[in-house]
Structure 1
Amino acid sequence: MSRQARAHAGGTGQAVRHRRQVDNTGVIPQLAKAAREVEAAAQRGRVSPANRTKFQVIALLMREERARARADTEMGDSERQEALKRLDGLASILAKTAARDTSLVTLLQPDAPVSEQARALRKQLLFAGGVDMIVDETPGPEPVKRIVPPEIAERQVVPVSVKSRVRSNPFHAPDLNSRAPAPHYSRLSNWELLGPLLRAFETGAGGGAASMQLPPAPKYDRLSPPALELMPHQIGLLEAVREGHRTFLLADEPGLGKTAQSVLAASVADAYPLLCVVPNVVKTNWAREVARWTPQRTSTVITGDGRDVDGFADVFIVNYEVLDRHLGWLLELGLKSMVVDEAHFIKNLQSQRSRLVLQLADHVRASSPTSAPLMMALTGTPLINDVDDFKAIWQFLGWLEGDKPSQLLLDRLDETGLVPSDPGFLAAARQTVIDLGIVRRRKVDVARDLPAKRVVDMPIELDSEEGSSIRSAEVALTRRLLARYRSLVAASGLEPDTIDPERIRMIARSEVEESKTASKGESIFAMQRRLGVAKAELAAEYTSQVARSAGKVVHFAKHIEAMDIAERTFAELGISYVSIRGDQSSIARQAAIDAFQKDPKVQVAVCSLLAAGVGLNLQAASDVVLAELSWTAAEQTQAIDRVHRIGQEWPVTAWRVVASQTLDARIAELIDAKQGLAARALDGADDEVHSSDSIQVDVIAAMLEEALRTEVA
């Protein structure tokens, strides 16, 4: 095999190739031709899936050609410079094309998934450029065994009672009557489908609420234990389980009883052992709910060392933080069902938390005695910043395999008779995914006895020295951003007064990434913390006023310093309070919750926005004070919905304390703007499309753009 063929073969890992003596067109002219085709499509305003694939392959081959030109010792300097010059020209074409359709930018990332269609096109372009492909007959790698990853193997613990359970039932009898259907040819096999599927939810695709059709609720509730009663919307989901449905993204708004539905679903499906992966703050509550709704079943809460685990329990409850220590024995337990609470916690596919949850889910599907284990993802806020947040949840449910639809989803899409280029495909694809098990009910639709909630901004002025210091820090940050923007504009050869939104966002994203690792100086994160501390006393004083006039109040803060100041203020003002923080034990946290709910003397619950913003029932109050703002709309919604839940008898008001004339006001505006994302994706709303960037990026971009427009004016 020739030197040139070896230089290019590393691009596939599955093939080697050699250069053949043909005309001197080479690979670069083939790439240039393909790049012009994609550019023309972008100019027409329609970049098809085939052109997206072509765009990615051009970028891949450009990297290979550039690396080859630089490393080829037999290539003359003039020849090398000419090749690099032509490749730079190609890069310019791709950049202009991506500027027209910004969704193409992700395909330029080195770690972007490469589909089979992209690999096939790569071979075609190389062959057209004079490279023969010789298939490597070396066997591919063996399937990866389902073992504990090496990096967490030494942290594994195995409770003694679990060893006893495994020994007592070492084999799980297979179910020979229910097998997964064999895969078959699909007309969609050569299409890139994940992008259109996500886009269908991002745009709403002309559909209504993203909720599957559930069976009607029976006249009588025969599932609830004595003295308890399910609501009709809860019974509808359980009827679907009774009829054989086994995968659910239960995206009901917070407060509609998702925990009860999932606990009872396992009972209806007789899907035990059940594993519940939940935030640490709600582990105790999950155990209570199991005992409440399925008193005939036993549950066990898994702690760090696993000392108190009951290996013979029906329901195993583990928090995300200690899952890595217990993965080994959980893989051997013979789980028949799995519930992930606050499933948006696994949205980052690169995090260890997500990888472990997905590994467990794959194992449950592969080793369950039945072919369809019960899998439920619970979250009232499945989307945080972008529809890409769906991907991890869909993988957990078995609807995706990596960046491709699973065989189940592919078969259902085939049944529509449509392909992505057909009119109506997005709407049909969206409905297909919904019918796999998305259940989304809003309080206004199904719990009409629940009161409405409203968010009222309470502006305050920071007239202290710290307030002046914060405003000075914002001015300094704006000046630094302006200097960076002017340098970028000058380097690009643009007019000095040019206002380019794309370059503004480029600088904003860079500033956010640098701020995450900055050890000193003023960053947007540091300024938000300073704001929270600066307004903490004022916010606590306002909470005290509300508590005296309206009764119990839930006071949310984000930073420990802000919570400390609030509690000190309440003590000075004679306001009785309890504290709910992330560093508490489950017993202490539950005691604080019970005191707030049941003791009329306790007026305020001081809660951590991050540790107490999910899973808690605090409906003894009807007023919430948000002393600090979050970086996501979802966290704000979750916090308010600790009060706005089933059982609430009064209208709920959330008083949002906002520091005027600071970035606090910008954050509040952007949180409200981000609320439209979930409405478009899940509720079928036709709201204006806003940026899918994080709020930090949006804030910095807004600051820079406002400063630029002020200068131009």
Structure 2
Amino acid sequence: MPTTATAAQSTSRRRKNTSSRRDDEAPIIPILARKVREVEAKAQRGKLGPTNRVKFQVIAFLVREERARVKADTEVTDAARAELLKRLDGVATILAKTAARDTSLIQLLEVDQATSPVARRMRRDWLLESGAELPPDELIITDTAPAATSVVPAAVLSRQVVPPQVEARREANPFLAPDLSRVTTGPTPRRRLDGWELMGPLYKAFETGAGGAVASMDLPPVPEFDRLSPKGLEIMPHQSRFLEAVRQGHRSFLLADEPGLGKTAESVLAASVADAYPLLAVVPNVVKMNWAREVQRWTPQRRATVIHGDGENIDAFADVFIVNYEILDRHLSWLASLGLKGMVVDEAHFIKNLSSQRSQNVLALGARIREQVRDPLLLALTGTPLINDVEDFDAIWRFLGWTNGEKPGPELMEKLDATGLTPADKAFYPQARNAVISMGIVRRKKKDVAADLPDKLIADLPVELDDEFGRSIREAERELGGRLAAKYRRILEARGDRVFRGDFDEDIVRLVAHTELEESKAAGTGAENVFTMVRRIGQAKAVLAADYTVQLQRSVGKVVFFAKHIDVMDAAEAHFAAAGLRTVSIRGDQTTPARQDAIDAFNNDPGVGVAVCSLTAAGVGLNMQAASNVVLAELSWTAAEQTQAIDRVHRIGQGEPVTAWRIIAAHTIDTKIAELIDSKQGLAARALDGEAADPTSTDSVQLSALMHLLRRSLGGD
């Protein structure tokens, strides 16, 4: 009588033999079972990208195909047929559950055949893996010629606008110069990998790491001289290496540097190096003004224009056109006919959802530029190219022309073909990853280029308050300036002095401003004054600052968000919650244990992304060095308060350079306050260094800001 162990081994052998016989009768079924589990796992994590959707479609098609074959096979016994159909039903059940999770998949269950070349290649490869013999016409799969599509989709055709100045530009030069270098002769040669489905393997190469090397292309060494920076500025070595690659002829990049490493400046200078004008920059609304400022700063010989609304006030003869995602749809028609030679997509992870209209707008414009210009400058900027899944690369690769979503583009295909390998070879994956990286992926972290960076950088981010709130703030500033000017004139008239525009008595300017400041302090928040005005500016900036913080957090991890007023903190926290970010709050009304719990959670819990802090309550005594990025949503009245806030992360033990992002409302007193704060910091440095200080710089920021408003109203400043 056999032992228990022997009996178990015998049972195991019988099960294996039975399974082997069943797989011999339908060898495609275990492949389908494995593939459907892969799709199910992706769907459960919310990562069902384009490739897995095609995989879902092919599984559904092969299940139907195999069910029909099994039913018609007369050589299969009834018991075996029932078992095979049961296993196919199991695969179909998982498909149905997955479709119930993502209802957009239901239509793929109803497709009668795998129609796209990618789907046909996938079906062919799985059948070959199962050992099936296919007829020659199923082995060779050719791509269908792409249908010509309009840049402007029918859904937004009625919304197209043509700014008046664009018409003037067209009349000045009604013809675009033809790009004869795009003319090609002869058929495209067939390559060894033309018959393979390659998108899945390319994503897999990045998903598995394929060797673990940093995903950044080799860049040229730093050139001996900096010939690109305008007078008074200097590019950093890591920026110089990127620009040298552009100078040597590279034209498409996924620039995935961390925030704070100067991607905007690099892009502006890259356009100059490549002479890629007119250049279009598609950017988030919160950074439009910053882009215009960087163009002026780094390429002062070039003109930039920011597109607002319907673009009534744009400079159509500018070199750089800056537009935000939300209004791009109404400007597609004229931008597509402008003769653009370059395009930058800032925060390019915004286009990862291929079904969204904004993604389709960006991709359509990118495709039109590639049609019109040989080797245009195409830059996708994002510190977070991957958010949910490796297939988030898809839209960015399409924009850059590296792939078309179904297969690699000609240049990438040539690099893959040169490996001499196929996806059936393990060595293919690291080499495929390197091939994609060499197309133009550049990824540097702060710690990688720390020697290039100052240990603490304050970066100003001007934002446009172009809504009704912003207009009311600017009107309130004019009224306050007018009130101060009226007081100034009354004093001069009482002395019998004549008033000249742009010529004023500084002593009286200071007297009027000082009187106003004392009255404002006494009035509190009950009347319109410099304090209530600055508070309203903070309220207007709250969501813009929070939105930028969300983008920043997704790029660099933990961020400390500082605001001065409770209502600004409340608005920011609501925005973070809507974006799915976990936050902690540090406010003045907390108990000491509650505050410490919040600090500990921020420093130690990887799930906490943002600390929302009061400038006054959290500006001293706290250690928050788990972050190296600070957002200052509101400006302080003192340089010391700003410094104390930044020093919550810039302290002993901080391993990375610190960047403080000041959100500044353009065309308001906010800009002057930032300038005054900087001057106070300069004063402290001069005093500590033993240098003489300007006596006027001893005025408070509030007093200096009011004096500025008065001078501006009188026609000075």
In structure 2, the partner of 1:36 is 29
In structure 2, the partner of 1:393 is 396
Do the aligned residues in 1 keep the contact of 2:220 with 2:245 (CA within 8 Å)? yes
Question: Shift of the alpha carbon at 1:596?
Answer: 3.1
1-structure distance, mates of 2:435, 2:289: 36
Structure having greater relative contact order (Cα 8 Å, sep ≥ 6): 1
User: After superposition, where does 1:271-670 map in structure 2 within 5 Å?
Assistant: 271-368=276-373, 371-448=374-451, 450=453, 536=585, 538=587, 596=635, 600=638, 603=641, 621-623=646-648, 642-643=660-661
| TM-score, reference length from structure 1 | 0.54
Do the aligned residues in 2 keep the contact of 1:253 with 1:441 (CA within 8 Å)? yes
In structure 1, the partner of 2:209 is 204
The residue matched to 2:378 in structure 1 has which SS? strand
Question: Shift of the alpha carbon at 1:621?
Answer: 2.6
* Deviations, residues 437-460 of structure 1 (Å, cap 9, x unaligned): 01111221223264789xxxxxxx
Are 2:148 and 1:148 equivalent residues in the alignment?
A: no
* Deviations, residues 47-70 of structure 1 (Å, cap 9, x unaligned): xxx9999985342254589999xx
The residue matched to 1:339 in structure 2 has which SS? strand
Do the aligned residues in 1 keep the contact of 2:619 with 2:645 (CA within 8 Å)? no
The residue matched to 2:309 in structure 1 has which SS? coil
In structure 1, the partner of 2:176 is 172
Do the aligned residues in 2 keep the contact of 1:266 with 1:374 (CA within 8 Å)? yes
2-structure distance, mates of 1:227, 1:260: 15
Question: Shift of the alpha carbon at 1:169?
Answer: 2.2
* Deviations, residues 340-362 of structure 1 (Å, cap 9, x unaligned): 11111111111111111001100
* Counterparts in 2 of 1:129 and 1:601: CA distance versus 1, 3 Å: closer
In structure 1, the partner of 2:496 is none
Identity %: 52
Question: Shift of the alpha carbon at 1:284?
Answer: 0.3
2-structure distance, mates of 1:540, 1:171: 66
In structure 1, the partner of 2:562 is none
Residue 166 (structure 2) aligned to one of 151, 159, 162: 162
* Counterparts in 2 of 1:107 and 1:91: CA distance versus 1, 3 Å: farther
The residue matched to 1:448 in structure 2 has which SS? helix
Q: Kindly provide the amino acid, as one letter, of the partner of residue 269 in structure 1.
A: A
| TM-score, reference length from structure 2 | 0.54
Unaligned segments of structure 2, at least 5 residues: 1-21, 39-50, 70-79, 98-102, 139-143, 457-573, 596-610, 621-630, 651-655, 664-677, 679-717
Question: Shift of the alpha carbon at 1:533?
Answer: 11
2-structure distance, mates of 1:328, 1:89: 53
The residue matched to 1:266 in structure 2 has which SS? helix
Question: Shift of the alpha carbon at 1:396?
Answer: 0.8
The residue matched to 2:362 in structure 1 has which SS? helix
- Give the aligned CA root-mean-square deviation in angstroms: 5.3
In structure 2, the partner of 1:192 is 197
In structure 2, the partner of 1:690 is none
1-structure distance, mates of 2:177, 2:579: 59
Do the aligned residues in 2 keep the contact of 1:255 with 1:644 (CA within 8 Å)? no
2-structure distance, mates of 1:381, 1:52: 23
* Counterparts in 2 of 1:640 and 1:221: CA distance versus 1, 3 Å: closer
Do the aligned residues in 2 keep the contact of 1:62 with 1:87 (CA within 8 Å)? no
Question: Shift of the alpha carbon at 1:261?
Answer: 0.5
Do the aligned residues in 2 keep the contact of 1:540 with 1:570 (CA within 8 Å)? no
Do the aligned residues in 2 keep the contact of 1:200 with 1:429 (CA within 8 Å)? yes
Do the aligned residues in 2 keep the contact of 1:34 with 1:58 (CA within 8 Å)? no
In structure 1, the partner of 2:58 is 57
Do the aligned residues in 2 keep the contact of 1:298 with 1:313 (CA within 8 Å)? yes
In structure 2, the partner of 1:92 is 90
* Counterparts in 2 of 1:145 and 1:166: CA distance versus 1, 3 Å: farther
2-structure distance, mates of 1:116, 1:315: 39
Q: Kindly provide the amino acid, as one letter, of the partner of residue 225 in structure 1.
A: P
2-structure distance, mates of 1:314, 1:333: 11
2-structure distance, mates of 1:391, 1:619: 43
2-structure distance, mates of 1:240, 1:389: 26
Question: Shift of the alpha carbon at 1:529?
Answer: 7.0
Question: Shift of the alpha carbon at 1:641?
Answer: 5.4
In structure 1, the partner of 2:514 is none
* Deviations, residues 537-584 of structure 1 (Å, cap 9, x unaligned): 6488699x99xxxxxxxxxxxxxxx98xx7xx779x7999xxxxxxxx
* Counterparts in 2 of 1:260 and 1:439: CA distance versus 1, 3 Å: same
1-structure distance, mates of 2:221, 2:589: 47
* Counterparts in 2 of 1:229 and 1:450: CA distance versus 1, 3 Å: closer
Q: Kindly provide the amino acid, as one letter, of the partner of residue 144 in structure 1.
A: A
User: After superposition, where does 1:96-135 map in structure 2 within 5 Å?
Assistant: 110=108, 115-116=116-117, 118-119=119-120
Q: Kindly provide the amino acid, as one letter, of the partner of residue 91 in structure 1.
A: D
Larger Rg over CA atoms: 2
2-structure distance, mates of 1:329, 1:323: 11
Do the aligned residues in 1 keep the contact of 2:354 with 2:395 (CA within 8 Å)? yes
* Counterparts in 2 of 1:92 and 1:274: CA distance versus 1, 3 Å: same
Unaligned segments of structure 1, at least 5 residues: 1-28, 69-81, 100-104, 135-139, 454-524, 547-561, 577-591, 605-617, 626-637, 650-713
2-structure distance, mates of 1:277, 1:387: 23
Are 2:223 and 1:222 equivalent residues in the alignment?
A: no
1-structure distance, mates of 2:55, 2:279: 45
Do the aligned residues in 2 keep the contact of 1:241 with 1:268 (CA within 8 Å)? yes
Residue 249 (structure 1) aligned to one of 248, 254, 274: 254
The residue matched to 1:623 in structure 2 has which SS? coil
1-structure distance, mates of 2:182, 2:134: 51
* Deviations, residues 590-630 of structure 1 (Å, cap 9, x unaligned): xx979738x635846xxxxxxxxxxxxx99834369xxxxx
* Deviations, residues 24-75 of structure 1 (Å, cap 9, x unaligned): xxxxx999825335269889x9xxxx9999985342254589999xxxxxxx
2-structure distance, mates of 1:533, 1:185: 52
